[in-house]
Amino acid sequence: MIERYARPEMLALWAPAARYEAWLDVELNACLAMEALGQVPTGTADGIRGRVRLDPARILEIENTTKHDVIAFLTQVEETAGEDARWLHLGLTSSDVLDTSFAVLLVRALDLIVEALDRTRAALRARAFEHKRTPVMGRSHGMHAEPTTFGLVLATFYDELGRGRERLLAARGRIAVGKISGAVGTFANVEPEVERRVCAALGLTPEGVSSQIVHRDRHAEYFNALALVGTTLERFAVQVRHWQRSEVGEAEEPFTAGQKGSSAMPHKRNPILAENLTGLARLLRGYAQTAMENVALWHERDISHSSVERIIGPDATTLLHFMLERTTHLVRHLVVYPERMAAHMGQTGGVIFSQRLLLDLARAGVQRQTAYVWVQRNAMRSFAEGADFATLVQADPDISTHLPAEVIRRAFDLEWHLRHVDTIFARVFGETEDARPSEG
């Protein structure tokens, strides 16, 4: 992944040196297990660890000749670790090392992602409480529907990311699987106890029945879980892009000192962070698709998945980690304009309260479809003439015959729509106090 869309800790995790270190951990833990079983001289693994000096450049140089990365790695280990290195890789196949170490790295990457996700949710929670009772126009099909609060809107993303977190943790359990079972998974030249010990040392579970590989449905689930979290972040980004439109202006990205919005138009303040998140989410979905296509390999294995995973493993995890950090920044510094929200609520002359009038008429004995026609005709007239909806309703003899003026007046009460906000917050956040909790 290019550094533009990466954080240092994730770049370090997927650097060649870290990858080779993970390979070495698998090999040395297998060696230790064989020592415990009396198959390798005691102290061999510790001796190799003390002498080996991994050199990514040298490994690549060797690979240019061998055309095989694991053999190049083992060759370079032998060059620096000496004669004892002959005890490495006994009975193992390349996928034992590659798949097991890949699982270790995917787990570590996911742990960084979950930590970042928790920061994003904390930011959303803080802003949701801040705007718990800030009225905003709820929209369906992009049109004014009924009132809600900006805090409730933010709470939907907090809650959705909670489900995303659960999916990530489920995928973590599914991907934390290794195999040290040899060429086609039959343990012909390595004992099952070696696999058990290696996996235990690395925090993994042995694959139930491996072939030459860990089966790729596990990886497909993992990358789909990443993509789903990315899609939630995209949903938030799309909302920000709408709020920031010139015609809306209800909220916008921070615009810092010295920032430029356009090379041609000095007045521009563009939602570049949100648009970036939208684009990166598309990449994550593409990676998830390729992970699905990796599942159906030939027989016990082929390597059509290998080139894919060399890209999507680092890229997908790095991208989502970056997206979460960017979203956290965007949430924390989102500029909110409650006065614009209030102005928009009055923009349509009160027609947003039409449903309560409809229900009051039904309760008063009017057939629902008849009541619908009465309310709708006044709403359409309000749109056409720019007239106040409440005034039109009060003057409509069909409606006023069935509804007293006080009932009509109450139908236009904004607080009626917000009276269950505390209940919803209690469901989402587990508390009812009107507090503004910290993000910590």
Task: Indicate whether 68 pLDDT > 90.
Answer: yes
Mean pLDDT of 101-106: 98
Please report the pLDDT score of residue 257 as a whole number.
79
User: What is the bridge-based pairing of β-strands 143-149 and 205-206?
Assistant: unpaired
Mean pLDDT of 291-318: 94
Pairwise CA distance, residues 132 & 122, whole Å: 15
- Name the pLDDT band for 171 (thresholds 50, 70, 90): very high
- Name the pLDDT band for 344 (thresholds 50, 70, 90): very high
Beta bridge partners of 177: 205
Say which of 68, 262, 304, 420 is annotated catalytic: 262
Task: Indicate whether 436 pLDDT > 60.
Answer: no
pLDDT tens-place string over residues 203-247: 999 999 999 999 999 999 999 999 999 999 999 999 999 999 999
Please report the pLDDT score of residue 220 as a whole number.
97
Please report the pLDDT score of residue 439 as a whole number.
57
Mean pLDDT of 18-27: 98
- Name the pLDDT band for 269 (thresholds 50, 70, 90): confident
User: What are the residue ranges of CATH 1.10.40.30 in the chain?
Assistant: 351-411
Close Cβ partners of 242 (under 8 Å, ≥ 6 residues apart): 248
Mean pLDDT of 141-163: 97
| DSSP assignment string, 218-245 | HHHHHHHHHHHHHHHHHHHHHHHHHHHS
Mean pLDDT of 39-55: 96
242 catalytic residue (yes or no): no
User: What are the residue ranges of CATH 1.20.200.10 in the chain?
Assistant: 94-337
Task: Indicate whether 195 pLDDT > 60.
Answer: yes
CATH 1.10.1740.10 is the classification of domain 351-411:
no
Instruction: Kindly list the distances between the CA atom of residue 260 and the CA atoms of 30, 222, 266, in Å, as whole numbers in the listed order.
Output: 56, 38, 7
262 catalytic residue (yes or no): yes
Say which of 68, 95, 140, 141 is annotated catalytic: 141
* Number of neighbouring beta carbons within 10 Å of residue 207: 22
Task: Indicate whether 329 pLDDT > 80.
Answer: yes
Task: Indicate whether 256 pLDDT > 90.
Answer: no
Please report the pLDDT score of residue 266 as a whole number.
83
Which of 115-119, 212-216, 430-434 is predicted least confidently?
A: 430-434
User: What are the residue ranges of CATH 1.10.275.10 in the chain?
Assistant: 3-87
- Name the pLDDT band for 69 (thresholds 50, 70, 90): very high
86-102 core/surface letters (b: 16 or more CB in 10 A; e: else): ebbbebbbbbbbbbbbb
Mean pLDDT of 45-62: 97
Task: Indicate whether 268 pLDDT > 90.
Answer: no
Task: Indicate whether 403 pLDDT > 80.
Answer: yes
Please report the pLDDT score of residue 237 as a whole number.
97
Q: What rounded mean pLDDT belongs to the chain? A: 94
* pTM (two decimals): 0.93
Please report the pLDDT score of residue 260 as a whole number.
81
Return the higher-pLDDT residue of 216 and 254: 216
According to CATH, the topology of domain 94-337 is Fumarase C; Chain A, domain 2 (1.20.200)
- Name the pLDDT band for 255 (thresholds 50, 70, 90): confident
- Name the pLDDT band for 437 (thresholds 50, 70, 90): low
- Name the pLDDT band for 265 (thresholds 50, 70, 90): confident
Tell how far CA 85 is from the center of its chain.
42
Please report the pLDDT score of residue 29 as a whole number.
98
CATH 3.40.50.1820 is the classification of domain 3-87:
no
